[in-house]
């Protein structure tokens, strides 16, 4: 990825990249340590249409939220040798039948032979959840299994 670093004399540094759709996304780091997220305008790429200050905690939360696909990619990478096995991330929508119920009740392993390897909640990764782990709406559930099993798992998460 091409990240452009531009010094802003007297203020700090700007780091940004251009997305495939042609928008610039970046971060301005000020001298005093403040950080600002910037997104460029769709019609005028030289201009930014959104900018927001982020605290340290907020930046790491955002990084984790965006890091979920990264985790999935890493897992897939590890399973590349094993044919027929893939990793997906299934969103657990609020009001799903398992919103507020423990992991064990899905009987996922028995019904689909799919493993739940991690849950991403509020921007942090919770690895290897145990059967008594209680799901909440908005969780991202990372699952490993065969394509067929994963489809079935998705159905279960959505409809019970």
Decide whether 47 or 73 has the Cβ nearer to another protein.
47
Decide whether 4 or 70 has the Cβ nearer to another protein.
4
Max Cα-Cα span within the chain? 61
Measured from the CB of residue 19, what is the shortest distance to another protein in angstroms?
Answer: 15
Among 2, 44, 57, 81, binds another protein (CB under 8 A): 44
Show contacts of 69-74: CB within 8 Å, 24+ apart.
Answer: 71/118, 71/120, 71/125, 71/142, 72/142
Stretch that binds another protein, among 21-29, 60-68, 99-107, 114-122 (CB under 8 A): 21-29
Asked whether position 34 contacts another protein by CB under 8 A, the answer is: no
Number of residues this chain uses to bind another protein (CB under 8 A):
22
Pairing of strands 115-121, 35-40: unpaired
Bridge partners, 30 (sequence order): 12
């Amino acid at each position: 990825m091409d990240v452009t670093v531009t010094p802003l004399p007297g203020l700090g540094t700007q780091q940004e990249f251009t997305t495939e759709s042609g928008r610039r996304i970046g971060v301005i780091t000020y001298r005093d340590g403040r950080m600002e997220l910037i997104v460029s305008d769709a019609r005028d790429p030289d201009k930014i249409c959104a900018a927001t200050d982020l605290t340290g905690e907020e930046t790491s939360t955002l990084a984790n939220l965006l890091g979920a696909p990264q985790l999935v990619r890493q897992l897939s990478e590890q399973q590349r040798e094993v044919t027929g096995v893939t990793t997906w991330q299934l969103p657990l929508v609020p009001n799903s039948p398992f919103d507020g119920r423990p992991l064990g009740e899905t009987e996922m392993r028995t019904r689909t032979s799919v493993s739940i390897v991690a849950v991403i909640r509020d921007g942090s990764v919770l690895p290897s959840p145990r059967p008594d782990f209680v799901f909440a709406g908005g969780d991202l559930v990372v699952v490993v299994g065969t394509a067929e099993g994963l489809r079935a798992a998705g159905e279960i998460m959505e409809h019970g």
